[in-house]
Amino acid sequence: MESKVSWEPERYLKYGSLRLRPALDLLMRVRHDSPRRVVDLGCGPGTVTTVLAERWPDAEIIGVDSSAEMLARAAAAYPRLMWVDADIAHWRTDVPADVIFSNAALHWLDDHEGLFARLAADLAPAGALAVQMPANFDAPSHRSIRALADGAKWSSCLSGARMGSVMTAERYWTLMSSLFHSVELWETIYWQRLQGENAVLEWLQGTTLVPYLARLDEGQRAEFLAELGVELLRAYPVRAEGDVLFPFKRLFMIGAGVR
């Protein structure tokens, strides 16, 4: 992911409860009673980090992110926790962690084989790696973004912008099994009820669209969003109740006991 991209914490948090739910579902499956050090990798505005602190009040909790905007929001809201400004693709812990937790962040990074091996190496022998990533890159929302960005009108401006990616579940199972003695892996589709004018477009501006919009000036952004909004309303029509159903597939994995 491009480290200089500017994030908007308030826009991201507009759907905060929906974004938090997968992290809570992941955390419920992490079986570690008394970790000394817990790392939230790609902590964003710190919402998940503080939940980790509530789960393990005696642990040292560290939130790591490369967004100055997100870290400022996190530090203002949760000043007692430790916040580290660093590129999560390269950051290493100086003391082995007992839990490395990452919610909706690692899909931005390349070379997951190398990345996950490095994260396993940063764990204590009985440590756990818990990861959740979006797995909806073939959804109509994401196909619409790629089709518009790759078209003749926008391709010159948006060349190189990317929305992240994940491997197949089978590849992650093989990878995690090579690194950990115990592996859990599952997928969940969250049927999200969104409200507001073109709510799917609003959701995407908080995450997926950030690297694309960063490459456009103000006028171009407005035009691009208007064109994309038309496509999204076709793909996700407003229901009679005035809301939109936005199914969102997510991939979860937990590795415990480092090989």
The rounded percent of the chain whose pLDDT value lies above 90 is: 92
What tens digit of pLDDT does each residue of 54-82 get? 999 999 999 999 999 999 999 999 999 99
**Both structure tokens of 151:** 């078209």
pLDDT at 16: 87
H/E run at residue 146: helix 140-150
Per-domain boundaries in the chain: 9-258
In degrees and rounded to multiples of 5, residue 25 shows phi and psi of -65, -40
C-alpha distances in angstroms, 202 versus 24, 159, 259? 23, 23, 43
Q: Average pLDDT of 153-157?
A: 97
- Please tell me the pTM assigned to this model: 0.94
First to last CA, the chain: 29
The amino acid sitting at 64 is V
CA 103 from centroid of its chain's CA atoms: 5
Name residues whose C-beta falls within 8 Å of residue 58's C-beta, 6 or more positions apart in sequence: 34
What tens digit of pLDDT does each residue of 209-232 get? 999 999 999 999 999 999 999 999
Q: Which CATH class is domain 9-258?
A: alpha beta
